[in-house]
Structure 1
Amino acid sequence: MTDPIRSCILTRDRDGRDHLIRLAVSPDGVVLPDIRAKAPGRGAWIGVPRGELETAIAKKKLRGALARAFKGAAITIPDDLPRMIAVALERNALDRLGLEAKTGTLMTGSERIETAARSGKLHALYHASDAGTDGNRKLDQAWRIGSDREGSDVRGLALPIDRTILGLALGRGNVVHIGLTDRAAAKRVSDALGRWLHFVGPDLPPVPCETASQGPSASGLSGDLPAVTTHEEFE
């Protein structure tokens, strides 16, 4: 199924809706992130990183763009909207990792991941922010060997979250490394992580995955709006 195309209200750049972030208006007029893009009513889409969004807010450009998107309706933009979006995207990414852990498409443990990597079965590799350099290097090399990419710079991504947070998200203790051997699961995780990391830091490396889609991408999140104004959805 083709991902519907939407336009960023700030840049007018067009992209698939799963690569953008939807904003919606609550019944009391507050603009809030709708990460799952499932809240009813009219929505507005943004595709810029956090720094650009903060600049747009400071220069009143976001207010003007939202006024056009929501047909001049009275709205309130929270002062901490960028932080709210960042938190929501992080939760979404961790939720996705947790779901993959529950369905058995995600593996942990250095030895298991190394075996899968060397046998060419690994499709994505991630390291906790506090993982040891030697451990990362060993698994990265195993992945390159197993995928016939020795001599390249292919490596797992060091996530901006530590082993404790990863362990809580996966319901396991001491999660230092994560590997995915299911191609579809690897893409789902890459999409969720990619959209989060694009928003919080445009200079971060792309999410490594053999089947990763181009650009940042989206997924669902608990905590979406229960209801919003009832107009047709804005592209």
Structure 2
Amino acid sequence: MRTPPNEAVATDTVDEGAGPERTCVLSRVVRPKDALVRLALGPDGQVAPDVRARAPGRGAWIGVDRRTVDEANAKGRLKGALSRAFKTQALEIPSDLGERIETALRQHALDRLGLEARGGMLVNGAERVEAAARQGKVHLLIHAADAGADGRRKLDQAWRVGGGGPAGLEFPEPRTILSMALGRENVVHIALTDAAAARRVLSAIARWRAFIDPDAGLDGGDAAGPDAGEQIRHEGNA
């Protein structure tokens, strides 16, 4: 991912100095709120994920992975933490809250891609992606989880030639899901051609990936190169 003139931007970590900060109710770690997941308390006392941070009322924030959430929920530690955060004991935490958070983060990432596609901020199709990459117009390169190795290598090389990152980002879902998200046929490779759009997409994917598999990294385990630790610059969850 890059910004003109060839300035490396974000691939797998959050910019710790970006935006308002919040404290995870479980780990007590303070991080930018865009790196955390907000939980909202409904009028019926039900706790639900609010990944866009738009629900009214008091919120609580978590910055741990799904396994930690599930364990804390099963042992009652999550209820204690949320009771303190919401300042009430009258709350109900679904037993499958971790799954609901994962589903919400996944949908947010897919919706973000769909919005950028409708806004004309990305291109797909191997030939179009390769041309844009070689011309230095690509700010983020994404491969479907089931993309072929040869296709990935070819487009990764084109991106490097154009001054981009060392390798594209593996999306956690296959081409069928990407195709539905974009409303297009056979979407295997995606190139974000707008810097702000690339940051928004990367931010959404980063939160999702950190929640489902924090050890894999954004590239899904593939080598991301020496620049993979550069900071993400968030532009909010708009």
**TM-score scaled by structure 2?**
0.84
The amino acid that maps onto 1:73 is Q
Please report how far the alpha carbon of residue 206 of structure 1 lies from its aligned counterpart in structure 2 after TM superposition. 2.9
Question: Matches of residues 69-84 of structure 1 in structure 2 within 5 Å?
Answer: 69-84=85-100
Aligned counterparts of 1:87 and 1:53: Cα–Cα separation in 2: 14
Please report how far the alpha carbon of residue 219 of structure 1 lies from its aligned counterpart in structure 2 after TM superposition. 2.9
Please report how far the alpha carbon of residue 148 of structure 1 lies from its aligned counterpart in structure 2 after TM superposition. 6.8
Partner of 1:227: none
Aligned counterparts of 1:180 and 1:171: Cα–Cα separation in 2: 16
Partner of 2:110: 94
Aligned counterparts of 1:206 and 1:171: Cα–Cα separation in 2: 24
Aligned counterparts of 1:161 and 1:148: Cα–Cα separation in 2: 23
Q: What is the aligned length?
A: 216
Aligned counterparts of 1:120 and 1:94: Cα–Cα separation in 2: 25
The amino acid that maps onto 1:187 is R
Aligned counterparts of 2:164 and 2:192: Cα–Cα separation in 1: 17
Identity, in percent, stands at 54
Question: Matches of residues 11-50 of structure 1 in structure 2 within 5 Å?
Answer: 11-50=27-66
Aligned counterparts of 2:132 and 2:47: Cα–Cα separation in 1: 45
Greater mean deviation of Cα atoms: 18-27 or 85-94 = 18-27
CA displacement 1:58-85 (0-9 Å, x = unmatched): 2221111011111133111101100000
The amino acid that maps onto 1:194 is A
Aligned counterparts of 1:133 and 1:28: Cα–Cα separation in 2: 50
CA displacement 1:172-205 (0-9 Å, x = unmatched): 0100000012111110110111111111110122
Aligned counterparts of 2:144 and 2:71: Cα–Cα separation in 1: 31
Partner of 2:195: 183
- Extract unaligned runs of 5+ from structure 2: 1-17
The amino acid that maps onto 1:177 is H
Give the alignment's Cα RMSD to 1 decimal.
2.4
Partner of 1:127: 143
- Is the 1:125–1:156 Cα contact (8 Å) retained in structure 2? yes
Aligned counterparts of 1:78 and 1:70: Cα–Cα separation in 2: 16
The one of 129, 134, 143 equivalent to 1:118 is: 134
Please report how far the alpha carbon of residue 3 of structure 1 lies from its aligned counterpart in structure 2 after TM superposition. 1.7
Question: Matches of residues 133-212 of structure 1 in structure 2 within 5 Å?
Answer: 133-147=149-163, 154-206=166-218
- Is the 2:196–2:235 Cα contact (8 Å) retained in structure 1? no
**TM-score scaled by structure 1?**
0.85
Aligned counterparts of 1:83 and 1:116: Cα–Cα separation in 2: 37
Aligned counterparts of 2:116 and 2:233: Cα–Cα separation in 1: 22
Q: SS at 2:190's partner residue?
A: strand
- Is the 2:125–2:189 Cα contact (8 Å) retained in structure 1? yes
CA displacement 1:109-164 (0-9 Å, x = unmatched): 11111111112221101111111111011101111121176xxxx21122121111
- Is the 1:198–1:216 Cα contact (8 Å) retained in structure 2? no
Aligned counterparts of 2:22 and 2:235: Cα–Cα separation in 1: 13
Partner of 2:3: none
Q: SS at 1:96's partner residue?
A: helix
